[in-house]
Structure 1
């Protein structure tokens, strides 16, 4: 296992050295995404988590090979849309519980709706931040 970690560590070091070439100046979102993955990769290596290291290595390679600003924005937009659908579903569940009058179920549904709403807000902030990075 130690040989594996060393091998992955060397591959990661080489990938990290190539990081500035990951994306052209036009692909600023990809550069940022690659840097985030690189930080996670270094953390996973420090924790001795070879499965996470391997997965993050594949993710970094995918960003290096296939990433565009448009793909990052599309991915973030898809996340917002998915969470919006989740909020709508939770809202319907909450309203259903209200109509039945079951206080315990109402309380549970309210908590789930609040959690889904917070996740939607977070992903919306992330999408807005990406748009902000492009306009700088």
Structure 2
């Protein structure tokens, strides 16, 4: 299977993050409507359709406001996980990782991998309360 293009990977990160934020519809029209608070002048449905389907990416000046609205880093939204994250944010298995680095790495996981991580967290929390 071929690896996704940059615009397809962006679309997947956008779609996944929106689903996590409670948006159940994800198409050109739904995306344009959801982004109205970010872009009050509006966005064309054709533009947002291309973002939603991985045919195109937003211009650079639109990435940052979308990322802020979704509460993710602009770098992560545009490019995916920071390849330097291990060096910048993690000290190893017995060390600490910054909240930002953890969040970026968590959001880069597949939906199933995130479910597993959340199940592990719940188990650890239950173990602490015993």
TM-score by length of 2: 0.33
Q: Tell which structure's C-alpha radius of gyration is larger.
A: 1
